[in-house]
Amino acid sequence: MTKVLLSIHVLAAIIAIGPVTVAASMFPAVARRGDEPALRLLHRICRVYAMIGILVPVFGLATASSLGVLGDAWLLISIGLTVVAGGVLGLVILPRQARRETARLGMVTGIFNLLWAVVVVLMIVRPGSTAGV
């Protein structure tokens, strides 16, 4: 069951978080060009995939529980960073996109992407892991 949960977790991360990071990163440049139809599309991609992205931590927690690593420091840090990334997306990026407020949006999106990059590294390296990786 752990392999199924982990597979769903990884697939959800790729399918949901990938499009959000790309669309959010493209938004400021497209806004400078003033392409309103493209802005609506990018914002919609971010909104829809953000909702789908909720599956990532849900299956991540189920996987962690199955593996018995819920108390590991690397996982707790990953959870914290995921909460921060979700907050940045939901409280800063999406509202600014909706208002077409692009000041510092590129920087905030970069921070959002960096948070996810750190989470991915923590998931792969798993400090203190005995998996031999």
Contact status, residue 39 vs residue 91, Cβ threshold 8 Å: no
Residue 61: pLDDT band (50, 70, 90) is very high
pLDDT of 132 strictly over 70: no
Instruction: Identify residue 121 by its one-letter amino acid code.
Output: V
Cα separation of the two ends of the chain: 22
Q: Find where tokens 């931590």 sit.
A: 57
CA angle 16, 91, 13 (to 5 degrees): 15
Split at pLDDT 50, 70, 90, the class of 100 is very high
Q: Residues 107-126: pLDDT tens digits?
A: 999 999 999 999 999 988 88
Token pair, residue 82, equals 């995921």
Q: What is the pLDDT of residues 22-46, one digit of tens each?
A: 999 999 999 999 999 999 999 999 9
Cβ contact 48:122 at 8 Å = no
